[in-house]
Structure 1
Amino acid sequence: MAKGKYLEWVSEQGLLMIEGWARDGLTDAQISKNMGISRSTLNEWKKKYPDISDTLKRSKEVVDREVENSLLKRALGMVTKTTTYKMVKVDDDVLKVKRERYLNSYKLEHPDLSKKELLMAAIEAVPTYEQIPITENEVELAPDTSAAIFWLKNRKPDAYRDQSFKELNEAQAEKARADVRKATAEAEIKEAEAKAINGDDEMEDDGFIAAIDHSMSEVWTDETED
């Protein structure tokens, strides 16, 4: 069971690596592969060494909470901010002061480095150009229906099953069809009235009355069904 190898992973550095992988969303199988052990060995270590088990659990809970919050924001709609930056050359005098300050501090931590190595470290740490924010824009994202449905189905499964959404969609579709039938009937009535007013010979009185009765019966049927 990777005898002795567990010591590497119960150390501070090892636990930090495990925590990072868990926060990145890796599964136990992927984490065990990164550790160079089998999934079964990791399961045994989780039972035997609380530090490993607690680290995995704590880190995964953090990720779950972050995903949950993101999903909720997407379902409700949200405002995102984007910032545009411009690369600007640092003034020579300012750059010199910043690099000298960094070099002096870095030299105390690395006394064995040569002057050239210290200078290269300062140049790398304090670049010649820096980002300057130019504009900040706000973009409003409308509520995401798919995210809302996913949230409700998982948070309130008793009230929002697939069948519930199916019934809701069918009811909305039937209402739309009823609205179309009602609009068609009203159009037929208006057409019949217009012909009667214009004295259209093709439309006899009995035919006019029958057309209105037929249209009104369809409207009445739709309304009573609702």
Structure 2
Amino acid sequence: MAKAKYEKWLTEEGLIQLEGWARDGLTDEQIAHNMGIRRSTLNDWKSKYPDISDTLKRGKEVVDIQVENALLKRALGFEVVEATKELTDRGLIVTKEVTKHIAPDTTAAIFWLKNRKPNEWRDKRETEITGKDGNDLSINIKL
């Protein structure tokens, strides 16, 4: 008798493959497609089999952290050391190290702040104005 499809994905090899797909940034829809099942079936399996759910979370967590770190690095700016090689008159290769400063990226900084501190940095703000008659007016201002 053939194994049920889900059992293949509960093996060590199956779980490693699932984690790799998640780490590579595939969506649950794409992962389900690669597994040969529907997205709804994957959702059912994630509920029934904690190993599948935990493995997908672990794989996604790795890449999410890498992207967060890269975004923060771009938002703050950073220095990078570049090694260059030059051919001299004698035919020798000389390695020269040059430190370059990569300026902070304004878009990355704005994105970071809007998501990390939305009450202070979101575009839409609510302002309360009281009229002469004492009635409170609430308006939304898009900055």
TM-score range relative to shorter protein: 0.7 to 0.9
User: 1:31 aligned to 2:31?
Assistant: yes
What is the distance in 1 between the residues matched to 2:80 and 2:107? 19
| Preserved CA contact (<8 Å) 1:79 1:138 | yes
Tell me the SS of whatever aligns to 1:158.
helix
Partner of 1:48: 48
Given the superposition, is the C-alpha separation of residues 135 and 17 from structure 1 closer, same or farther in structure 2, using an over 3 Å criterion? farther
CA RMSD across the alignment: 2.3
Give the 5 Å matches for 1:125-164.
134-163=95-124
| Preserved CA contact (<8 Å) 1:25 1:63 | yes
Give the 5 Å matches for 1:1-226.
4-84=4-84, 134-163=95-124
Q: TM-score, normalised by structure 1?
A: 0.48
User: Greater share of strand residues, 1 or 2?
Assistant: 2
User: Greater share of helix residues, 1 or 2?
Assistant: 1
Tell me the SS of whatever aligns to 1:159.
helix
Given the superposition, is the C-alpha separation of residues 83 and 22 from structure 1 closer, same or farther in structure 2, using an over 3 Å criterion? farther
Q: TM-score, normalised by structure 2?
A: 0.74
Letter of the 2:31 counterpart: I
| Preserved CA contact (<8 Å) 1:84 1:134 | yes
Structure 1's consecutive aligned runs of 4 or more residues displaced over 2 angstroms after TM superposition are 80-86, 132-139
Unaligned runs of 5+ in 2: 87-92, 126-141
Sequence identity of aligned pairs in percent? 65
| Preserved CA contact (<8 Å) 1:83 1:133 | no
| CA positional deviation for 1:134 | 3.8
| CA positional deviation for 1:133 | 9.4
